[in-house]
Amino acid sequence: MSVDAATVRRIAHLARIAVTEAEVPHLQGELNAMLAFVEQLSEVNVDGVEPMTSVTPMEMKKRPDVINDGEIADDVVKNAPDTVDHFFLVPKVLE
DSSP character at residue 74: H
Is residue 69 assigned to a domain? no
DSSP character at residue 61: P
Is residue 48 assigned to a domain? no
pLDDT at 74: 84
Instruction: Find the domain containing 25 and state its range.
Output: 5-41
* Whole-model pTM over 0.85: no
Is residue 58 assigned to a domain? no
pLDDT grade for 4, boundaries at 50, 70 and 90: very high
pLDDT per residue over 14-41, tens digit each? 999 999 999 999 999 999 999 999 999 8
pLDDT per residue over 47-61, tens digit each? 998 888 788 888 878
Provide the number of structural domains found in the chain.
Answer: 1
Is residue 12 assigned to a domain? yes
pLDDT at 71: 82
List, in order, residues 6 or more apart from 80 with CB less than 8 Å away: 88, 89
